[in-house]
Protein backbone atom coordinates (compact mmCIF):
# COMPACT_ATOMS: atom_id res chain seq x y z
CA UNK A 1 0.00 0.00 0.00
CA UNK A 2 2.87 2.37 0.78
CA UNK A 3 4.38 1.62 -2.61
CA UNK A 4 1.08 2.45 -4.27
CA UNK A 5 0.91 5.79 -2.48
CA UNK A 6 4.50 6.72 -3.45
CA UNK A 7 3.78 5.80 -7.07
CA UNK A 8 0.80 8.14 -7.12
CA UNK A 9 2.88 11.03 -5.76
CA UNK A 10 5.58 10.49 -8.38
CA UNK A 11 2.99 10.33 -11.14
CA UNK A 12 1.42 13.60 -10.07
CA UNK A 13 4.83 15.33 -9.87
CA UNK A 14 5.77 14.16 -13.36
CA UNK A 15 2.52 15.33 -14.83
CA UNK A 16 3.00 18.75 -13.16
CA UNK A 17 6.50 19.10 -14.52
CA UNK A 18 5.39 18.21 -18.00
CA UNK A 19 2.52 20.65 -17.83
CA UNK A 20 4.71 23.63 -16.77
CA UNK A 21 6.54 24.26 -20.07
CA UNK A 22 3.30 23.69 -21.93
CA UNK A 23 1.65 26.37 -19.81
CA UNK A 24 4.55 28.77 -20.35
CA UNK A 25 4.47 28.21 -24.07
CA UNK A 26 0.72 28.32 -24.16
CA UNK A 27 0.49 31.76 -22.45
CA UNK A 28 3.48 33.94 -23.52
CA UNK A 29 1.36 37.12 -23.79
CA UNK A 30 0.26 36.83 -20.20
CA UNK A 31 3.87 36.59 -19.02
CA UNK A 32 4.99 39.52 -21.19
CA UNK A 33 2.11 41.62 -19.96
CA UNK A 34 3.02 40.89 -16.35
CA UNK A 35 6.63 41.82 -16.97
CA UNK A 36 5.63 45.03 -18.76
CA UNK A 37 3.29 45.90 -15.92
CA UNK A 38 6.06 45.42 -13.39
CA UNK A 39 8.49 47.49 -15.49
CA UNK A 40 5.86 50.22 -15.85
CA UNK A 41 5.23 50.26 -12.12
CA UNK A 42 8.99 50.26 -11.46
CA UNK A 43 9.41 53.20 -13.87
CA UNK A 44 6.57 55.07 -12.17
CA UNK A 45 8.15 54.46 -8.77
CA UNK A 46 11.53 55.66 -10.04
CA UNK A 47 9.89 58.69 -11.61
CA UNK A 48 8.03 59.46 -8.39
CA UNK A 49 11.29 59.13 -6.46
CA UNK A 50 13.04 61.50 -8.88
CA UNK A 51 10.18 64.01 -8.64
CA UNK A 52 10.24 63.70 -4.86
CA UNK A 53 14.01 64.24 -4.81
CA UNK A 54 13.75 67.32 -7.05
CA UNK A 55 10.88 68.73 -5.01
CA UNK A 56 12.83 68.09 -1.83
CA UNK A 57 15.91 69.77 -3.31
CA UNK A 58 13.87 72.78 -4.37
CA UNK A 59 12.17 73.02 -0.99
CA UNK A 60 15.50 72.74 0.79
CA UNK A 61 16.98 75.34 -1.53
CA UNK A 62 14.10 77.70 -0.87
CA UNK A 63 14.37 77.07 2.86
CA UNK A 64 18.12 77.66 2.73
CA UNK A 65 17.59 80.91 0.83
CA UNK A 66 15.00 82.04 3.36
CA UNK A 67 17.27 81.07 6.23
CA UNK A 68 20.19 82.95 4.69
CA UNK A 69 18.02 86.02 4.24
CA UNK A 70 16.75 85.70 7.80
CA UNK A 71 20.31 85.28 9.03
CA UNK A 72 21.49 88.33 7.08
CA UNK A 73 18.55 90.32 8.40
CA UNK A 74 19.33 89.16 11.93
CA UNK A 75 23.00 90.06 11.52
CA UNK A 76 22.06 93.50 10.24
CA UNK A 77 19.74 94.00 13.21
CA UNK A 78 22.47 92.89 15.61
CA UNK A 79 24.95 95.26 13.96
CA UNK A 80 22.43 98.09 14.09
CA UNK A 81 21.72 97.39 17.76
CA UNK A 82 25.45 97.19 18.51
CA UNK A 83 26.04 100.46 16.72
CA UNK A 84 23.07 102.04 18.45
CA UNK A 85 24.25 100.82 21.86
CA UNK A 86 27.80 101.99 21.17
CA UNK A 87 26.48 105.35 20.05
CA UNK A 88 24.27 105.70 23.10
CA UNK A 89 27.08 104.68 25.42
CA UNK A 90 29.49 107.03 23.70
CA UNK A 91 26.93 109.85 23.92
CA UNK A 92 26.35 109.16 27.60
CA UNK A 93 30.01 109.07 28.32
CA UNK A 94 30.60 112.23 26.28
CA UNK A 95 27.99 113.92 28.43
CA UNK A 96 29.71 112.62 31.55
CA UNK A 97 33.03 113.70 30.11
CA UNK A 98 31.68 117.18 29.40
CA UNK A 99 30.38 117.41 32.97
CA UNK A 100 33.72 116.16 34.22
CA UNK A 101 35.54 118.74 32.15
CA UNK A 102 33.34 121.51 33.53
CA UNK A 103 33.88 120.35 37.09
CA UNK A 104 37.59 120.01 36.54
CA UNK A 105 37.66 123.47 35.02
CA UNK A 106 35.85 124.81 38.08
CA UNK A 107 38.26 123.00 40.39
CA UNK A 108 41.18 124.29 38.39
CA UNK A 109 39.80 127.79 38.75
CA UNK A 110 39.56 127.28 42.50
CA UNK A 111 43.14 126.06 42.57
CA UNK A 112 44.25 129.06 40.56
CA UNK A 113 42.38 131.39 42.92
CA UNK A 114 44.02 129.66 45.87
CA UNK A 115 47.39 130.01 44.15
CA UNK A 116 46.60 133.70 43.72
CA UNK A 117 45.82 134.02 47.39
CA UNK A 118 49.09 132.32 48.28
CA UNK A 119 50.92 134.67 45.94
CA UNK A 120 49.23 137.61 47.68
CA UNK A 121 50.35 136.19 51.03
CA UNK A 122 53.93 136.01 49.84
CA UNK A 123 53.75 139.52 48.41
CA UNK A 124 52.26 140.86 51.63
CA UNK A 125 54.91 139.01 53.63
CA UNK A 126 57.64 140.46 51.44
CA UNK A 127 56.26 143.98 51.91
CA UNK A 128 56.05 143.46 55.67
CA UNK A 129 59.57 142.11 55.66
CA UNK A 130 60.77 145.24 53.88
CA UNK A 131 58.79 147.47 56.24
CA UNK A 132 60.26 145.77 59.31
CA UNK A 133 63.77 146.03 57.90
CA UNK A 134 63.26 149.77 57.38
CA UNK A 135 61.66 150.07 60.81
CA UNK A 136 64.59 148.20 62.39
CA UNK A 137 67.01 150.48 60.60
CA UNK A 138 65.07 153.51 61.84
CA UNK A 139 65.23 152.19 65.43
CA UNK A 140 68.90 151.59 64.96
CA UNK A 141 69.42 155.21 63.96
CA UNK A 142 67.42 156.43 66.98
CA UNK A 143 69.52 154.48 69.46
CA UNK A 144 72.83 155.01 67.68
CA UNK A 145 73.81 157.60 70.25
CA UNK A 146 73.46 155.09 73.07
CA UNK A 147 76.29 153.03 71.74
CA UNK A 148 77.10 150.08 69.59
CA UNK A 149 75.77 147.49 72.04
CA UNK A 150 72.42 149.16 72.31
CA UNK A 151 72.22 149.55 68.51
CA UNK A 152 73.03 145.90 67.93
CA UNK A 153 70.49 144.77 70.55
CA UNK A 154 67.74 146.86 68.99
CA UNK A 155 68.50 145.59 65.49
CA UNK A 156 68.56 142.00 66.67
CA UNK A 157 65.27 142.33 68.55
CA UNK A 158 63.66 143.98 65.51
CA UNK A 159 64.79 141.19 63.16
CA UNK A 160 63.66 138.52 65.65
CA UNK A 161 60.23 140.13 65.97
CA UNK A 162 59.91 140.37 62.17
CA UNK A 163 60.93 136.75 61.55
CA UNK A 164 58.61 135.43 64.28
CA UNK A 165 55.67 137.34 62.86
CA UNK A 166 56.39 136.15 59.32
CA UNK A 167 56.79 132.54 60.44
CA UNK A 168 53.54 132.61 62.44
CA UNK A 169 51.39 134.15 59.75
CA UNK A 170 52.97 132.30 56.83
CA UNK A 171 52.36 128.99 58.60
CA UNK A 172 48.72 129.92 59.12
CA UNK A 173 48.23 130.98 55.54
CA UNK A 174 50.06 127.96 54.13
CA UNK A 175 48.02 125.67 56.39
CA UNK A 176 44.88 127.23 54.96
CA UNK A 177 46.19 126.68 51.43
CA UNK A 178 47.01 123.05 52.09
CA UNK A 179 43.58 122.50 53.61
CA UNK A 180 41.90 124.04 50.56
CA UNK A 181 43.94 121.93 48.14
CA UNK A 182 43.21 118.78 50.14
CA UNK A 183 39.50 119.57 49.98
CA UNK A 184 39.71 120.02 46.22
CA UNK A 185 41.40 116.64 45.82
CA UNK A 186 38.78 115.07 48.04
CA UNK A 187 36.02 116.56 45.91
CA UNK A 188 37.55 115.02 42.77
CA UNK A 189 37.93 111.58 44.37
CA UNK A 190 34.42 111.68 45.86
CA UNK A 191 32.77 112.76 42.61
CA UNK A 192 34.72 110.77 40.03
CA UNK A 193 36.64 108.05 41.83
CA UNK A 194 34.07 105.31 41.12
CA UNK A 195 33.85 106.21 37.44
CA UNK A 196 36.96 104.18 36.78
CA UNK A 197 35.67 100.85 38.05
CA UNK A 198 36.87 97.99 35.78
CA UNK A 199 33.49 97.12 34.25
CA UNK A 200 32.62 100.71 33.43
CA UNK A 201 36.16 101.32 32.17
CA UNK A 202 35.81 98.41 29.75
CA UNK A 203 32.48 99.73 28.48
CA UNK A 204 33.84 103.24 28.09
CA UNK A 205 37.00 102.20 26.24
CA UNK A 206 35.04 99.97 23.86
CA UNK A 207 32.51 102.74 23.23
CA UNK A 208 35.29 105.17 22.35
CA UNK A 209 36.99 102.59 20.13
CA UNK A 210 33.74 101.72 18.32
CA UNK A 211 33.04 105.40 17.88
CA UNK A 212 36.42 105.82 16.21
CA UNK A 213 35.83 102.84 13.92
CA UNK A 214 32.38 104.14 12.92
CA UNK A 215 33.77 107.60 12.18
CA UNK A 216 36.56 106.04 10.15
CA UNK A 217 34.06 104.15 8.01
CA UNK A 218 32.38 107.51 7.36
CA UNK A 219 35.82 108.90 6.30
CA UNK A 220 35.68 111.36 9.22
CA UNK A 221 39.26 110.49 10.08
CA UNK A 222 40.09 113.56 12.16
CA UNK A 223 37.16 112.83 14.50
CA UNK A 224 38.08 109.14 14.59
CA UNK A 225 41.61 110.16 15.55
CA UNK A 226 40.26 112.18 18.48
CA UNK A 227 38.30 109.15 19.74
CA UNK A 228 41.39 106.92 19.63
CA UNK A 229 43.43 109.55 21.45
CA UNK A 230 40.82 109.61 24.24
CA UNK A 231 41.34 105.87 24.74
CA UNK A 232 45.11 106.30 24.87
CA UNK A 233 44.98 109.33 27.18
CA UNK A 234 42.62 107.84 29.76
CA UNK A 235 43.60 104.16 29.63
CA UNK A 236 47.15 104.18 28.23
CA UNK A 237 48.68 103.10 31.55
CA UNK A 238 46.05 100.47 32.40
CA UNK A 239 47.32 97.04 33.42
CA UNK A 240 44.09 95.04 33.00
CA UNK A 241 44.37 92.69 29.96
CA UNK A 242 41.12 93.80 28.34
CA UNK A 243 42.08 97.47 28.60
CA UNK A 244 45.59 96.80 27.27
CA UNK A 245 44.03 95.12 24.24
CA UNK A 246 41.82 98.14 23.57
CA UNK A 247 44.74 100.54 23.97
CA UNK A 248 46.78 98.49 21.47
CA UNK A 249 43.89 98.60 19.01
CA UNK A 250 43.46 102.34 19.57
CA UNK A 251 47.16 102.98 18.89
CA UNK A 252 47.04 100.91 15.71
CA UNK A 253 43.84 102.58 14.51
CA UNK A 254 45.33 105.97 15.36
CA UNK A 255 48.13 105.15 12.95
CA UNK A 256 45.61 104.14 10.29
CA UNK A 257 43.64 107.38 10.74
CA UNK A 258 46.83 109.45 10.52
CA UNK A 259 47.76 107.59 7.36
CA UNK A 260 44.36 108.39 5.85
CA UNK A 261 45.05 112.04 6.67
CA UNK A 262 48.43 111.71 4.83
CA UNK A 263 50.29 112.38 8.08
CA UNK A 264 52.69 109.50 7.48
CA UNK A 265 55.37 110.57 9.97
CA UNK A 266 52.83 110.72 12.80
CA UNK A 267 51.33 107.42 11.69
CA UNK A 268 54.78 105.90 11.88
CA UNK A 269 55.17 107.18 15.45
CA UNK A 270 51.85 105.54 16.43
CA UNK A 271 52.97 102.17 15.04
CA UNK A 272 56.26 102.56 16.91
CA UNK A 273 54.27 103.03 20.11
CA UNK A 274 52.51 99.71 19.52
CA UNK A 275 55.92 98.05 19.24
CA UNK A 276 57.34 99.80 22.31
CA UNK A 277 54.36 98.99 24.54
CA UNK A 278 53.34 95.55 23.30
CA UNK A 279 56.24 94.19 21.23
CA UNK A 280 57.06 91.47 23.77
CA UNK A 281 53.47 90.56 24.63
CA UNK A 282 52.39 86.92 24.34
CA UNK A 283 48.61 87.43 24.26
CA UNK A 284 47.14 86.55 20.81
CA UNK A 285 45.22 89.83 20.45
CA UNK A 286 48.32 91.89 21.25
CA UNK A 287 50.51 89.82 18.91
CA UNK A 288 47.95 90.48 16.18
CA UNK A 289 48.20 94.24 16.75
CA UNK A 290 52.00 94.02 16.70
CA UNK A 291 52.13 92.24 13.34
CA UNK A 292 49.60 94.67 11.86
CA UNK A 293 51.56 97.63 13.22
CA UNK A 294 54.80 96.31 11.71
CA UNK A 295 53.12 95.84 8.34
CA UNK A 296 51.66 99.34 8.38
CA UNK A 297 54.98 100.70 9.60
CA UNK A 298 56.52 99.28 6.45
CA UNK A 299 53.82 100.90 4.32
CA UNK A 300 54.28 104.27 6.05
CA UNK A 301 58.05 104.08 5.56
CA UNK A 302 57.49 103.31 1.91
CA UNK A 303 55.34 106.42 1.53
CA UNK A 304 58.16 108.42 3.07
CA UNK A 305 60.51 106.87 0.44
CA UNK A 306 62.43 105.11 3.22
CA UNK A 307 62.36 101.82 1.33
CA UNK A 308 65.30 100.12 3.04
CA UNK A 309 63.69 100.70 6.45
CA UNK A 310 60.37 99.45 5.05
CA UNK A 311 62.04 96.21 3.96
CA UNK A 312 63.53 95.86 7.46
CA UNK A 313 60.03 96.19 8.98
CA UNK A 314 58.71 93.43 6.72
CA UNK A 315 61.69 91.22 7.57
CA UNK A 316 60.97 91.73 11.26
CA UNK A 317 57.47 90.35 10.71
CA UNK A 318 58.94 87.32 8.95
CA UNK A 319 61.57 86.66 11.64
CA UNK A 320 59.16 87.17 14.56
CA UNK A 321 56.11 85.33 13.24
CA UNK A 322 57.40 83.15 10.40
CA UNK A 323 56.62 79.91 12.25
CA UNK A 324 53.27 81.02 13.69
CA UNK A 325 50.24 78.82 13.07
CA UNK A 326 47.49 81.32 13.92
CA UNK A 327 45.63 82.34 10.72
CA UNK A 328 45.92 86.08 11.31
CA UNK A 329 49.68 85.80 11.88
CA UNK A 330 50.14 83.57 8.82
CA UNK A 331 48.32 86.19 6.81
CA UNK A 332 50.67 88.83 8.22
CA UNK A 333 53.74 86.82 7.19
CA UNK A 334 52.36 86.32 3.67
CA UNK A 335 51.69 90.05 3.36
CA UNK A 336 55.16 90.89 4.69
CA UNK A 337 56.81 88.67 2.07
CA UNK A 338 54.62 90.11 -0.68
CA UNK A 339 55.27 93.70 0.41
CA UNK A 340 58.98 93.02 0.70
CA UNK A 341 58.97 91.74 -2.87
CA UNK A 342 56.98 94.73 -4.13
CA UNK A 343 59.34 97.18 -2.39
CA UNK A 344 62.38 95.41 -3.85
CA UNK A 345 60.71 95.62 -7.25
CA UNK A 346 60.27 99.38 -6.90
CA UNK A 347 64.02 99.55 -6.18
CA UNK A 348 64.63 97.56 -9.41
CA UNK A 349 66.08 94.72 -7.31
CA UNK A 350 64.06 92.22 -9.32
CA UNK A 351 66.04 89.06 -8.50
CA UNK A 352 65.52 89.64 -4.76
CA UNK A 353 61.87 90.47 -5.37
CA UNK A 354 61.39 87.18 -7.23
CA UNK A 355 63.01 85.31 -4.32
CA UNK A 356 60.51 86.89 -1.91
CA UNK A 357 57.59 85.97 -4.18
CA UNK A 358 58.89 82.39 -4.43
CA UNK A 359 58.83 82.15 -0.63
CA UNK A 360 55.15 83.10 -0.61
CA UNK A 361 54.33 80.38 -3.15
CA UNK A 362 56.49 77.81 -1.35
CA UNK A 363 54.94 78.50 2.06
CA UNK A 364 51.33 79.17 1.14
CA UNK A 365 50.83 77.91 -2.42
CA UNK A 366 48.54 75.06 -1.35
CA UNK A 367 46.77 76.91 1.47
CA UNK A 368 42.96 76.79 1.27
CA UNK A 369 42.32 80.04 3.16
CA UNK A 370 40.88 82.79 0.98
CA UNK A 371 43.27 85.50 2.12
CA UNK A 372 46.26 83.26 1.36
CA UNK A 373 44.89 82.21 -2.05
CA UNK A 374 44.51 85.88 -2.88
CA UNK A 375 48.08 86.57 -1.73
CA UNK A 376 49.54 83.71 -3.79
CA UNK A 377 47.68 84.85 -6.91
CA UNK A 378 48.93 88.40 -6.40
CA UNK A 379 52.60 87.47 -5.99
CA UNK A 380 52.49 85.21 -9.04
CA UNK A 381 51.40 88.19 -11.13
CA UNK A 382 54.08 90.38 -9.53
CA UNK A 383 56.68 87.70 -10.18
CA UNK A 384 55.66 87.63 -13.84
CA UNK A 385 56.05 91.41 -14.07
CA UNK A 386 59.51 91.21 -12.46
CA UNK A 387 60.59 88.49 -14.89
CA UNK A 388 59.28 90.60 -17.75
CA UNK A 389 61.38 93.54 -16.55
CA UNK A 390 64.44 91.27 -16.56
CA UNK A 391 63.70 90.27 -20.16
CA UNK A 392 62.95 86.67 -19.19
CA UNK A 393 59.84 86.47 -21.37
CA UNK A 394 59.38 82.71 -21.44
CA UNK A 395 59.55 82.47 -17.65
CA UNK A 396 57.12 85.37 -17.31
CA UNK A 397 54.68 83.63 -19.64
CA UNK A 398 54.99 80.41 -17.63
CA UNK A 399 54.25 82.26 -14.37
CA UNK A 400 51.14 83.94 -15.80
CA UNK A 401 49.96 80.56 -17.07
CA UNK A 402 50.61 79.07 -13.63
CA UNK A 403 48.44 81.77 -12.07
CA UNK A 404 45.68 81.03 -14.57
CA UNK A 405 45.94 77.27 -14.00
CA UNK A 406 45.72 77.69 -10.23
CA UNK A 407 43.03 80.35 -10.00
CA UNK A 408 41.41 80.72 -13.45
CA UNK A 409 38.15 79.16 -12.25
CA UNK A 410 38.04 80.97 -8.92
CA UNK A 411 34.77 82.68 -8.07
CA UNK A 412 35.86 84.67 -5.00
CA UNK A 413 35.94 88.38 -5.98
CA UNK A 414 39.32 89.05 -4.36
CA UNK A 415 40.97 86.08 -6.10
CA UNK A 416 39.26 86.84 -9.40
CA UNK A 417 40.64 90.38 -9.20
CA UNK A 418 44.14 88.87 -9.19
CA UNK A 419 43.21 86.59 -12.09
CA UNK A 420 42.19 89.70 -14.02
CA UNK A 421 45.56 91.24 -13.18
CA UNK A 422 47.22 88.10 -14.52
CA UNK A 423 45.22 88.25 -17.74
CA UNK A 424 45.90 91.95 -18.17
CA UNK A 425 49.62 91.49 -17.47
CA UNK A 426 49.76 88.53 -19.85
CA UNK A 427 48.05 90.61 -22.53
CA UNK A 428 50.45 93.51 -22.04
CA UNK A 429 53.38 91.08 -22.13
CA UNK A 430 52.17 89.70 -25.48
CA UNK A 431 51.66 93.25 -26.79
CA UNK A 432 55.26 94.12 -25.93
CA UNK A 433 56.41 90.91 -27.60
CA UNK A 434 54.55 92.01 -30.72
CA UNK A 435 56.51 95.27 -30.68
CA UNK A 436 59.76 93.29 -30.51
CA UNK A 437 58.71 91.32 -33.61
CA UNK A 438 57.16 94.34 -35.35
CA UNK A 439 58.86 93.75 -38.69
CA UNK A 440 57.50 90.19 -38.83
CA UNK A 441 53.92 90.90 -39.86
CA UNK A 442 52.64 87.37 -39.22
CA UNK A 443 54.21 87.06 -35.76
CA UNK A 444 53.08 90.57 -34.84
CA UNK A 445 49.50 89.86 -35.88
CA UNK A 446 49.37 86.58 -33.94
CA UNK A 447 50.79 88.16 -30.79
CA UNK A 448 48.38 91.11 -30.92
CA UNK A 449 45.46 88.72 -31.45
CA UNK A 450 46.53 86.64 -28.43
CA UNK A 451 46.85 89.81 -26.34
CA UNK A 452 43.36 90.88 -27.44
CA UNK A 453 41.92 87.59 -26.14
CA UNK A 454 43.29 88.32 -22.68
CA UNK A 455 42.02 91.91 -22.63
CA UNK A 456 38.56 90.87 -23.83
CA UNK A 457 38.29 88.23 -21.13
CA UNK A 458 39.07 90.79 -18.42
CA UNK A 459 36.49 93.20 -19.80
CA UNK A 460 33.87 90.43 -19.84
CA UNK A 461 34.28 90.27 -16.07
CA UNK A 462 34.83 93.96 -15.40
CA UNK A 463 33.82 96.36 -18.16
CA UNK A 464 35.25 99.36 -16.30
CA UNK A 465 38.77 98.03 -15.74
CA UNK A 466 40.75 101.18 -16.54
CA UNK A 467 44.13 99.51 -17.06
CA UNK A 468 42.75 96.90 -19.45
CA UNK A 469 40.73 99.49 -21.36
CA UNK A 470 43.90 101.53 -21.79
CA UNK A 471 45.88 98.51 -22.98
CA UNK A 472 43.10 97.60 -25.38
CA UNK A 473 43.12 101.15 -26.76
CA UNK A 474 46.88 100.91 -27.30
CA UNK A 475 46.48 97.54 -29.03
CA UNK A 476 43.72 98.87 -31.29
CA UNK A 477 45.88 101.82 -32.30
CA UNK A 478 48.84 99.56 -33.10
CA UNK A 479 46.44 97.33 -35.07
CA UNK A 480 45.45 100.24 -37.30
CA UNK A 481 42.05 100.96 -35.71
CA UNK A 482 42.44 104.58 -34.48
CA UNK A 483 38.71 105.31 -34.13
CA UNK A 484 38.06 102.36 -31.81
CA UNK A 485 41.31 103.17 -30.01
CA UNK A 486 40.16 106.74 -29.37
CA UNK A 487 36.92 105.59 -27.74
CA UNK A 488 38.65 103.04 -25.51
CA UNK A 489 41.41 105.47 -24.48
CA UNK A 490 38.97 108.25 -23.59
CA UNK A 491 37.00 105.92 -21.35
CA UNK A 492 40.16 104.47 -19.78
CA UNK A 493 41.70 107.85 -18.92
CA UNK A 494 38.41 109.06 -17.46
CA UNK A 495 38.46 106.08 -15.11
CA UNK A 496 42.19 105.77 -14.44
CA UNK A 497 43.30 109.40 -14.31
CA UNK A 498 46.89 110.60 -14.17
CA UNK A 499 48.36 107.35 -12.86
CA UNK A 500 47.08 105.43 -15.90
CA UNK A 501 48.24 108.21 -18.23
CA UNK A 502 51.80 107.96 -16.87
CA UNK A 503 51.77 104.16 -17.15
CA UNK A 504 50.67 104.36 -20.78
CA UNK A 505 53.37 106.90 -21.58
CA UNK A 506 55.89 104.47 -20.11
CA UNK A 507 54.48 101.61 -22.23
CA UNK A 508 54.73 103.71 -25.38
CA UNK A 509 58.36 104.51 -24.56
CA UNK A 510 59.29 100.83 -24.12
CA UNK A 511 60.63 98.98 -27.19
CA UNK A 512 59.30 101.77 -29.40
CA UNK A 513 58.06 101.34 -32.95
CA UNK A 514 57.19 104.03 -35.49
CA UNK A 515 53.52 104.02 -34.51
CA UNK A 516 54.37 104.97 -30.93
CA UNK A 517 55.08 108.58 -31.88
CA UNK A 518 51.58 108.97 -33.33
CA UNK A 519 50.12 107.19 -30.34
CA UNK A 520 51.79 109.66 -27.97
CA UNK A 521 50.24 112.55 -29.89
CA UNK A 522 46.79 110.97 -29.58
CA UNK A 523 47.29 110.09 -25.92
CA UNK A 524 48.45 113.60 -25.00
CA UNK A 525 45.56 115.19 -26.88
CA UNK A 526 43.00 113.04 -25.06
CA UNK A 527 44.64 113.77 -21.70
CA UNK A 528 44.69 117.53 -22.29
CA UNK A 529 41.05 117.49 -23.39
CA UNK A 530 40.06 115.66 -20.23
Q: Which residue blocks in 365-440 are alpha helix, DSSP H?
A: 370-389, 393-407, 413-436
C-alpha pair distances (Å), 340 with each of 49, 299, 413: 59, 10, 24
| pLDDT over 70 (residue 523) | yes
Q: Are 379 and 402 in contact (CB under 8 A)?
A: no
Residue with the bigger pLDDT between 133 and 481: it is 481
Is the pLDDT assigned to residue 299 strictly greater than 50?
yes
Backbone angles phi, psi at 480, to 5 degrees: 80, 30
Compute the CA torsion angle 429, 431, 437, 440 (nearest 10 deg): 140
> How does pLDDT run across 231-279, given as a tens digit for each residue?
898 888 888 888 899 999 999 999 999 999 999 899 999 999 999 999 8
Output the pLDDT for position 322. Answer: 87
Q: How far apart are CA 95 and CA 61, in angstroms?
A: 50
| Four-point Cα dihedral 170, 172, 175, 181, nearest 10 | -80
CA within 13 Å, CB half, 360: 30
Interatomic CA distance for residues 298 and 338, integer angstroms? 12
Residue 498 belongs to what H/E stretch?
Answer: helix 482-508
Q: How many CB atoms lie within 10 A of CB 181?
A: 15
Report whether 339 contacts 298 (CB < 8 A).
Answer: yes
Sign of the Cα torsion 402, 408, 411, 413 reads positive
Question: Which of 325, 262, 249 is CA-nearest to residue 290?
Answer: 249
Contacts of 282 (CB under 8 A, 6+ apart): none
- The CA distance from 84 to 87, in Å, is 5
What pLDDT digit, counting tens, does each position of 138-148 carry? 434 443 433 43
Q: What is the pLDDT of residue 64?
A: 57
Q: Exposed, middle or buried: residue 76 (CB in 10 Å: 0-12, 13-18, 19+)?
A: exposed
- Rounded CA-CA distance 163/209 in Å is 59
Q: What is the pTM of this model?
A: 0.59
Q: Is the pLDDT reported for residue 220 higher than 70?
A: yes
Q: CA 298 to CA 264: how far, in whole Å?
A: 11
* Alpha-carbon gap, residue 32 to 16, rounded angstroms: 22
CB 255, CB 293: distance < 8 Å? yes
Contact 425, 400 (CB under 8 A): yes
In this predicted structure, which of 65-69, 307-311, 361-365 has the lowest mean pLDDT?
Answer: 65-69
Terminal Cα-to-Cα distance of the chain (whole angstroms): 124
Mean pLDDT of 85-96: 56
Phi-psi region of 262 (alpha: psi -120 to 50; beta: other; left: phi over 0): left
Lowest mean pLDDT among 24-38, 327-341, 385-399: 24-38
Query: Exposed, middle or buried, 15 (CB in 10 Å: 0-12/13-18/19+)?
Result: exposed
Average pLDDT over residues 330-346: 95
Q: How far apart are CA 438 and CA 115, in angstroms?
A: 88
For the segment 67-91, the average pLDDT, to the nearest whole number, is: 58
Kindly report the number of other CB atoms within 10 A of residue 85's CB atom: 13
Q: For residue 172, how many other CB atoms are within 10 A of its CB? A: 11
Whole-number pLDDT of residue 443: 94
Q: Which of 416, 319, 320, 399 is nearest to 353 (CA)?
A: 399
pLDDT in tens, 146-200: 343 333 444 444 445 444 544 454 455 444 444 443 443 344 334 444 444 556 6
What are the E-state strand segments in 132-269? none
Alpha carbons 161 and 169: distance in angstroms, whole number: 12
Q: What is the 3-state secondary structure (H, E, C) of 152-182?
A: HHHHHHHHHHHHHHHHHHHHHHHHHHHHHHH
Q: What is the DSSP letter of 290?
A: H
Cα angle 434, 437, 438 (rounded to 5 degrees) comes to 80
Q: What is the pLDDT of residue 207?
A: 83
Ramachandran angles phi, psi of 365, nearest 5°: -60, -30
- 18 confidence band (pLDDT: 50, 70, 90): very low
Give the percent of the chain with pLDDT over 90.
47
- Radius of gyration of the chain from its Cα atoms, rounded to whole angstroms: 44
Phi, psi of 328 (to 5 degrees): -65, -35
**Residue 203's pLDDT band (cuts 50, 70, 90):** confident
Question: What does the DSSP 8-state code read for residue 437?
Answer: T
Mean pLDDT in residue range 374-388: 93
Amino acid sequence: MLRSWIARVLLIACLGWLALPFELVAHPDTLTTAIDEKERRLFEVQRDIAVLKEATRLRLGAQETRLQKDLQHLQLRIEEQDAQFAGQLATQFEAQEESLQKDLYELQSRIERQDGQLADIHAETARLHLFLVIFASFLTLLVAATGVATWYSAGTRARDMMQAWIAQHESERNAGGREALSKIRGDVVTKFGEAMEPILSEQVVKAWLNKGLALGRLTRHAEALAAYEQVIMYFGEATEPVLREQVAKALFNKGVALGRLTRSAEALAAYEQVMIRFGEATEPVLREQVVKALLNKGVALGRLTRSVEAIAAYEEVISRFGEAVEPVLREGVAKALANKGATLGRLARYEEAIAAYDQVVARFGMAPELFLREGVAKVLVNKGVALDRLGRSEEATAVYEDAMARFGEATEPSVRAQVMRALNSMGLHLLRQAKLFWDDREARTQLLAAARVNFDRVLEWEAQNASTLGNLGYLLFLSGQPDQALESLQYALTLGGEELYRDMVKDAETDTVLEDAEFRVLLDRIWQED
